């Protein structure tokens, strides 16, 4: 266990420098303060799970989940850099077991996600002020973020392992990032979207993460919320399993 | 008790042997050198002994632990400087050293001491705040070697640690390693540079094409193989096959090879005789000689000499 914490700390320190943290937070900050208000003139408050919600609040709460995707991508892809720059093999000849390396990355993903989500939430607090936040709701929201971070950390691992020697690594991971972002319920509630988009959104784990997080944070009584959380967990578990399999298949 | 015992190690890649039955022992406290040209199997041997890859056949024990069953125990007690570069792009030199000590579980106060000492010993003080990704290749190599001394170990593997270093730094690095050896550290060291192996090692194993050719002390090796020379002759026109055959027939020459139509080379320990013989034959075949000379053999020449005289 100590080894996992040590390797997690290493992954944390070597993947998260100040510019990276800035990059993780700046995009959601724009969504929260610019996009939300810019659109509020043409998007009236709407009904969500039986509550009236304004677009800035809707978007701000979604933007917080976005940092989880961003953090997962940042920390999960460390394996790509470790293999490219030799640290992976160096760690494997150190006093560690292979699974500890991967567990360390997953743990670091959770830590970075919760840390940056906390910061994003602080940034969003002026917008969210006035919404009744409860402690159980907040805990629930935090839990969904942790599950989401495992999911997106695993996704990043999968991409990194698959594209081991590819120079298109950056292009592919950016493409996947934006696809996940724009087909999720971060910007719009999936149930209001036209059929084809709705279909994609309903496959997208970020939709479930955003919905479950919003429900917890804003106290929205979404009757499907347990179901959605279940899907999020199932998808997270599936991706973690795939990532683990691919990881154990890596030949040194 | 031995630090390393290797018995008939074999490693094949797609049927092609990289190691072809390698056996040797390394004593505790010994500096053992693996000397061989590129592709000889040095890195493959280190990867097997450090449990990064499994051999196709054979067995080995490192610090009394079986490489198949006790990899984790072995890795806790060794240090490894791999041939390939390893660094973290975004970390400064001092942070990289510190973090490496951290993952090895070295206490904070001890890490601080070690970082300060190693920065000085490896001439890295001026770049302590520079990110590893921004260092020159030589500086990064120094960082990589220095980093391995952030933790305690009983046995250190060094895979061509001086590649990329200029001569002065190379010497400083070898001196540092030598000082550690004097303190009792067992070292397994690979190089393709004869002088390095001579300077550092108590015993040298010469390896070529996945086989150990000879294991001995540097002094004995020099006595035995130091006489080997390469004699090369270049003629104005192409050299007839018969000329070459005559040279080959002389059993005192270890190897005769045609470099190109006008050039022939002979590896032997009697360069005077080889030159005399070539001159005689040239006269007989009415060949006009452009040049003829004896040279220090390259390491590869020595290997060829040893292998052919073995056969
Ligand atoms: N992963 C690999 N796949 C295929 N061939 C390999 C691999 N690693 C090493 N080899 C081959 O094995 C031989 C020995 O390589 P290596 O141990 O790296 O030699 P050295 O370190 O002495 O230069 C070489 O012919 C090399 O091409
Ligand atoms: Mg090598």
**pLDDT-derived band at A87, boundaries 50, 70, 90:** very high
* pLDDT digits 0-9 by tens, B261-280: 999 999 888 888 999 999 99
The number of residues making up chain A comes to 252
Q: Whose CA is nearest to atom 11 of ligand 1?
A: B18
Chain center to CA of B57: 23
Average pLDDT over residues A29-45: 85
B170 & B271 share domain: no
A9, A13, A89: residue with CB nearest B52: A89
* Mean pLDDT of all residues in B123-142: 95
> What single string gives the DSSP state of each residue in A59-125?
HHHHHHHHHHHHHHHHHHTHHHHHHHTTHHHHHHTSS--HHHHHHHHHHHHHHHHHHHHHHHHHHHH
Which residues of chain A are within 8 Å of residue B102 when distances are taken between CB atoms?
6, 9-10
Pairwise CB contact (< 8 Å): A90 & B80? yes
> Cβ distance B89 to B133 under 8 Å?
yes
Q: Is the pLDDT of residue B310 over 60?
A: no
The CATH number for B239's domain is 3.30.70.100
Q: Contact A86/B84, CB-based, under 8 Å?
A: yes
> Which residues face B190 on adjacent strands?
B34, B159
Digit-coded pLDDT (tens) for B97-112: 999 999 999 999 999 9
Interface confidence, given as ipTM, is 0.88
Among protein residues, the one whose CA lies closest to atom 5 of ligand 1: B13
Over chain B, what is the mean pLDDT?
92
In whole angstroms, what is the distance from residue A109 CA to residue A8 CA?
8
Q: Residue A130 C-alpha to ligand 1 middle, in angstroms?
A: 65
Q: How many domains does chain A have?
A: 1
Of B217, B246, B266, which residue sits at a domain end?
B217
CA-nearest of A93, A246, A247, A83 to B52 is A93
Q: Which of A7, A81, A90 is the best substitution to test chain B (most B C-beta atoms within 10 A)?
A: A90
Higher pLDDT, B130 or A134: B130
DSSP secondary structure code for residue B113 in this structure: H
**What is the number of domains present in chain B?**
2
Q: Which domain holds residue B143?
A: 4-217
Same domain, residue pair B204 and B258: no
Residue B307's pLDDT band (boundaries 50, 70, 90)?
low
Residues B176 and B32 grouped into a single domain: yes
Could A93 and B78 be called an inter-chain contact, meaning their C-beta atoms sit closer than 8 Å? yes
Whether the pLDDT of residue B311 is over 50: the answer is: no
- Residue among B80, B99, B102 whose CB faces A93 most closely: B80
Instruction: Choose among B52, B88, B102: nearest Cβ to A93.
Output: B52
**Using the beta-carbon criterion (under 8 Å), do B75 and A95 form an inter-chain contact?**
yes
B311 in a structural domain: no
Write down the pTM of the prediction: 0.86
Q: Which residue has the tokens 């760690």?
A: A91
Query: Any idea which ligand is nearest the CA of B37?
Result: 1
| Chosen domain end from B162, B189, B217 | B217
Is there a single domain that holds both residue B134 and residue B250? no
Do B37 and B169 share a domain, yes or no?
yes
């Amino acid at each position: 266990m100590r080894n996992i914490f040590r390797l997690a700390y290493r992954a944390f320190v070597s993947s998260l420098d100040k510019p990276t943290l800035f990059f993780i937070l700046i995009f959601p900050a724009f969504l929260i303060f610019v996009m939300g208000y810019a659109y509020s003139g043409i998007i009236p408050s709407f009904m969500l799970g039986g509550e009236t919600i304004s677009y800035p609040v809707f978007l701000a709460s979604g933007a917080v989940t976005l940092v989880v995707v961003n953090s997962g991508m940042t920390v999960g892809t460390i394996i790509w850099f470790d293999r490219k720059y030799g640290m992976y093999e160096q760690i494997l000849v150190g006093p560690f077991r292979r699974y500890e390396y991967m567990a360390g990355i997953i743990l670091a993903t959770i830590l970075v996600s919760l840390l940056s989500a906390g910061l994003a939430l602080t940034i969003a607090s002026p917008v969210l002020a006035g919404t009744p936040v409860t402690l159980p709701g907040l805990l629930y929201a935090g839990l969904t973020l942790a599950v989401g971070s495992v999911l997106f950390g695993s996704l990043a691992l999968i991409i990194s392992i698959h594209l081991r020697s590819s120079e298109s690594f950056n292009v592919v991971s950016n493409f996947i990032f934006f696809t996940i972002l724009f087909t999720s319920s971060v910007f719009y509630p999936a149930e209001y979207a036209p059929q084809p988009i709705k279909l994609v959104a309903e496959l997208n784990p970020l939709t479930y993460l955003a919905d479950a997080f919003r429900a917890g944070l804003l106290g929205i009584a979404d009757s499907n919320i347990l179901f959605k959380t279940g899907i999020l967990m199932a998808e997270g578990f599936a991706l973690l399993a795939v990532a683990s399999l691919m990881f154990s298949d890596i030949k040194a | 008790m031995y630090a390393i015992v290797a018995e008939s190690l074999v490693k094949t890649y797609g049927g092609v042997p990289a190691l072809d039955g390698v056996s040797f022992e390394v004593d505790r406290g010994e500096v053992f050198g693996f000397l061989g040209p590129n592709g000889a199997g040095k890195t493959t041997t280190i990867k097997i002994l450090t449990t990064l890859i499994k051999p196709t056949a054979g067995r080995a024990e490192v610090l009394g632990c079986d490489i198949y069953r006790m990899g984790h125990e072995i890795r806790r007690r060794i240090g490894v400087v791999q041939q390939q570069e390893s660094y973290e792009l975004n970390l400064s030199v001092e942070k990289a050293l510190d973090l490496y000590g951290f993952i090895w579980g070295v206490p904070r106060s001890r890490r601080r001491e070690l970082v300060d000492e190693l920065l000085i010993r490896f001439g890295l003080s001026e770049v302590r705040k520079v990110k590893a990704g921004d260092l020159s290749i030589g500086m990064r190599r120094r960082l990589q070697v220095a980093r391995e001394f952030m933790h305690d170990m009983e046995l250190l593997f060094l895979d061509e640690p001086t590649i990329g270093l200029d001569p002065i730094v190379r010497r400083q690095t070898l001196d540092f390693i030598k000082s550690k050896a004097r303190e009792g550290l067992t070292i397994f060291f690979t190089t393709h540079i004869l002088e390095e192996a001579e300077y550092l090692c108590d015993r040298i194993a010469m390896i070529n094409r996945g086989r150990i050719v000879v294991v001995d002390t540097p002094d004995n090796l020099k006595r035995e193989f130091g006489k080997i020379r390469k004699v090369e002759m270049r003629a104005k026109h192409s050299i007839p096959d018969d000329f070459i055959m005559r040279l080959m027939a002389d059993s005192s020459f270890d190897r005769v090879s045609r470099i190109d139509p006008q050039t022939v080379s002979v590896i032997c320990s009697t360069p005077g005789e080889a030159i005399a013989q070539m001159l005689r034959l040239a006269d007989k075949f009415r060949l006009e000689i452009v040049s003829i000379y004896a040279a220090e053999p390259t390491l590869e020449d020595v290997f060829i000499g040893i292998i052919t005289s073995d056969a």
